[in-house]
Chains A and B, each alone.
Chain A
Amino acid sequence: MEYEAVIGLEVHVQIKAKSKIFSRVQAGYGHEPNKLVDPVVMGLPGALPVMNKAALDGIIKAGLALNCTIPETCKWDRKNYFYPDSPNNYQITQYDQPICDGGYVEIELPGETRAVMGEHKKIKLTRIHLENDVGKLNHFSEDSLVDYNRAFTSLMEIVSEPDMSSGEEAFAFLTAIRQTMIYCGISDCDMEKGQMRADANISVRPVGQKELGQKIELKNLNSITGVKNGIEYEIKRQTRELKKGNAIKQATWRWNADLNQTEMMREKEDAHDYRYFPDPDLMPVKIDDEWKSRLQSEIPELPWDKQRRFMEEYGLPYSITAVLVPDRALSEWFEAAAKQAPKLAQAIGNLVANDLLRELSETGESLADCKITPDSLLGLVQVVEKGTIPKNVANKDVFPEMFKTGETAEQVIERKGLKPDFDEGQVRVWCQEAIDENPKPVQNYKDGNEKALNALLGPVMKKSRGKANPQLVNKLIRELIS
């Protein structure tokens, strides 16, 4: 019997904001324990939460970017449960009136090769709601200590429909969310810093069966690869169990990235009774059209739209767009040059996606403090286009110098004496010599074999000590033969 998996994800994303969600205290990472606290964060007697509008802006923006409906009002509820990382022993969250309803995430599955675009799919969302994050427990041999620095940081929960069927899709789903959040400046989604975390609900059923199989919850997925591997492992495990005729028990599992396997945390006892009720300390929030359209106007062109446009408008191959687009800054850097000379866009794209990225990764520099500018890069491409220097010289000799010193292409060529010390007339002479010395390929070319001319290129380059521009050579040889 064939089996298929049904997967839903709950993705927690920390909203980037100066202060915490219901307190004025600073939000941040990497501080000494319990420094980012105040009476609200510590749950002191008498402390009251007050909504931080920046967090609302963040989630509404996220909802708009992920195609959700934003209802006119939303309210706050308390989810009551005891745990030491929660200062009030209730979490302020949204139960039946979340800020974002529905929506979907467009994902791309891997194509046949890296050069072709893969299948695009829409994964439906149930909702996105806002809640306060909790603190962090640190366990030692004798004690467990709580750090409330993270407590009350703004946290979005993006809940998908059970719309995915593989680790690959879950991976693509998280990647798409991450890119969208970073593009919109809503979150940096740094999983190592806990800014993005995911839980997966996974069940397996025989193909053709309508009702869902028994699901398990997989927690502790703190890297995107972890999500993929964890889900794939779990699908295999459940399929194996079902094939053996064993039932799947409702339980919570965790992904152990060190051992590359899932392990059971707890079998689910009775469902927890969270005793949700409307938080009496917080008023419902009205979200009007003006607010929404202001945020809508702050949403930049989103990754998939930009990728399709780059392919269409600049004729870029998929493989280059797949490198440029996921990084908003890089794609904007590219476009700053490309829009000045759309016909040269592919050459620009190649330099950015290959040479620039290579230099950046080798030097560890960031794009922001890179010495080369979109304008100077465009200058280099134009120099090649004019035939002043050949492309290989531009890539190999000129570009790295520009990157190092911030000079223009002309300055590097001048300083390093890369400009050929001969003119077009000299190249024409060498071409004529090559034609005269190689009658056979010339005859082949005249007989209709286009490629035969390649045999003349080598001798000319040799005569020019590699400095002749191959495109120019090609053009002159054709002229001379005809």
Chain B
Amino acid sequence: MSEELHYKSASELSQMLANKELSSVELTKATIARVKAVEEKVGAFNSFDESDALAQAEASDARRSAGKSFGPLDGIPVGIKDNLAVNGQPLTCSSKMLENFVSPYDATCIEKLKSQGAVLWGRLNLDEYAMGSSTENSAFKTTSNPWDLERIPGGSSGGSAAAIAAGQAVLALGSDTGGSIRQPASHCGIVGVKPTYGSVSRYGLAAFASSLDQVGPMARSVKDAAMLLQAISGHDERDSTSYRFEQPDLLAAIESNSGRKWTLGLPKEYFANAENTPAMEPILKAIDFYRSLGCEIKEVSLPHTDYAVATYYIVATAEASSNLARYDGIRYTHRAEKFDAKDSVDIYCQSRAEGFGEEVKRRIILGTYVLSSGYYDAYYLKAQKVRTLIRRDFENAFKEVDALLTPTSPSPAFKKGEKASDPLSMYLSDIYTISANLAGIPGMSLPCGYSDGLPVGLQILGKPFKEDEMLSIANQFEAAHDFKDQHPSL
């Protein structure tokens, strides 16, 4: 039975639970069994608590038999990236700094999932503090790409993407600061959505770069992602950057939009070298598909694209240097055993030297530098101005088109260790995803084919708060292809 269950979509499973063909306990047990079977190869989880998950599943089944089910997510196992706060569970951010930290509170998105009965299932690996594009920066383990265990799953939400691709969770939450949901989704052949900035509360998401971070869903299908996004989005009084907006019923919107003929833009800067990259072939085919549907395909220009990566690494590291200052060895973080007791500065230095990994240190130092007096105007302030120009590029493009189609990543998943010693080339793997975070617009990746047997993702960038349209466009493609039913052999 479990063989049949672990690649079913959330909407199918939800239906089965509703029809009482399946109980949440059965589903959760099957999920646990699947994790036990493949986790050694995949390494997606930092930790999980079987008995806690089963207790949640039992509670869900009890509600259902009492006729008080909380809705479509009730009883569905959802994996959680290990940088989101769940009361009573470890919150490590895959950092030695937080190795022994247990969160005493729930993130808002977690609270929402709990109130809808989801079974919160395990803590998924990530690049330390969500800094990285390969999940190789985790202090605890390296996650493998289920399609090729020699390769990285992408990052930083590599654990979430791999768990979905390997059938270890039905749905998962990730976070996306510069592409951390979309790029691993692309590499693992699943759907990943970065929502509009301000549409999902950041309360309880361990901050990397506050003005860029956004929590989002990762799933095996567009509809599953829509279902999870619906569950976690909405205004939150505990997050000042949370926006008051009316979100339509995403699943209903996807249905009602199924025949629309969109105007879709191709940013020419993203396709400049299209012929030379083999991974571009499935993307071009996907574009042809939309053309065949009767959509108008237009070339547009995002003239400041070249500056996006540099701008991102200034803004993100500046914010990170400040956000990560709280991990200091004083309250709840790793404290060095040996330090000069007379000097609190020494506690900080020793503890942070031991607790943080190389990439995190690199970014803290960079961020500290770009904010330091004398350099602020030249770097941070300039980057903020460029950021405005990048946002305007998108505003202008969206005057002409409903959404943009681009590759998610310049190449399919690379081999472990391939870029580990070359941070700059690693940073460039976010080149197509970063701008959406700088502009605050929604973006998603969905599987659109293979290159050398590895999944390739199509990125759709939408108008702010128009997730319904973006998901509808994605669904048109998914409905006509069977990529969501293709799974890695493990």
Residues of A within 8 A of B205 (CB): 46
For A45, A80, A282, which residue has the most chain B Cβ atoms within 10 angstroms?
A45
Chain A 253-276 per-residue mask, 1 if CB under 8 angstroms from chain B, else 0: 000000000000000000001011
Residues of B within 8 A of A44 (CB): 85, 103-105, 332
Roughly how many angstroms separate A48 CA and B238 CA in the complex, as a whole number? 7
Residues of A within 8 A of B413 (CB): none
Residues of B within 8 A of A165 (CB): none
Residues of A within 8 A of B376 (CB): 275-277
Least distance between B43 CB and chain A CB atoms (Å): 23
B210 within 8 A of A: yes
Residues of A within 8 A of B101 (CB): 45
Q: Indicate if the CB atoms of B241 and A275 lie closer than 8 Å.
A: no
Chain B 315-348 per-residue mask, 1 if CB under 8 angstroms from chain A, else 0: 0001101100110101110000000000011001
Least distance between B174 CB and chain A CB atoms (Å): 15
Q: Indicate if the CB atoms of A280 and B211 lie closer than 8 Å.
A: yes
A39-B105, A275-B368 are contacts. A87–B331 as well, Cβ < 8 Å?
A: yes
Question: Which label, helix, strand, loop or mixed, suits the secondary structure of the A interface?
Answer: loop
Return the contact of A281 from the options B240, B345, B372 (Cβ within 8 A). B240
B471 within 8 A of A: no
Roughly how many angstroms separate A87 CA and B327 CA in the complex, as a whole number? 9
A48-B238, A84-B344 are contacts. A277–B380 as well, Cβ < 8 Å?
A: yes
Chain A 18-45 per-residue mask, 1 if CB under 8 angstroms from chain B, else 0: 0000000000000000000001001111
Q: Indicate if the CB atoms of A43 and B373 lie closer than 8 Å.
A: no
Q: Indicate if the CB atoms of B325 and A82 lie closer than 8 Å.
A: yes
Q: Indicate if the CB atoms of B202 and A45 lie closer than 8 Å.
A: no
B237 within 8 A of A: yes
Q: Indicate if the CB atoms of B322 and A42 lie closer than 8 Å.
A: no
Q: Indicate if the CB atoms of A88 and B240 lie closer than 8 Å.
A: no
Roughly how many angstroms separate A83 CA and B347 CA in the complex, as a whole number? 11
A90-B325, A273-B373, A277-B318 are contacts. A46–B240 as well, Cβ < 8 Å?
A: no
Q: Indicate if the CB atoms of A283 and B241 lie closer than 8 Å.
A: yes
Return the contact of B372 from the options A39, A87, A275, A280 (Cβ within 8 A). A275
Report, as a range, how many residues of chain A touch the other chain. 20 to 34
Roughly how many angstroms separate A282 CA and B211 CA in the complex, as a whole number? 10
Q: Indicate if the CB atoms of A46 and B203 lie closer than 8 Å.
A: yes
Least distance between A152 CB and chain B CB atoms (Å): 13
Q: Indicate if the CB atoms of A45 and B98 lie closer than 8 Å.
A: yes
A43-B331, A90-B325, A281-B210 are contacts. A50–B371 as well, Cβ < 8 Å?
A: no
A182 within 8 A of B: no
Residues of A within 8 A of B237 (CB): 50
Nearest residue (CB) in B for A281 is B210
Roughly how many angstroms separate A252 CA and B240 CA in the complex, as a whole number? 37
Least distance between B351 CB and chain A CB atoms (Å): 11
Some 30 contacts from A to B, beta carbons below 8 A apart, are A39-B104, A42-B332, A43-B331, A44-B104, A44-B332, A45-B83, A45-B101, A45-B206, A46-B83, A46-B85, A46-B107, A46-B202, A46-B205, A48-B238, A48-B239, A50-B240, A82-B348, A83-B344, A87-B331, A146-B331, A273-B373, A276-B371, A277-B371, A277-B376, A280-B209, A280-B211, A280-B241, A280-B319, A281-B241, A282-B241
Given A50-B237, A84-B344, A89-B326, list of 4 further CB < 8 A pairs?
A39-B105, A45-B83, A80-B371, A90-B325
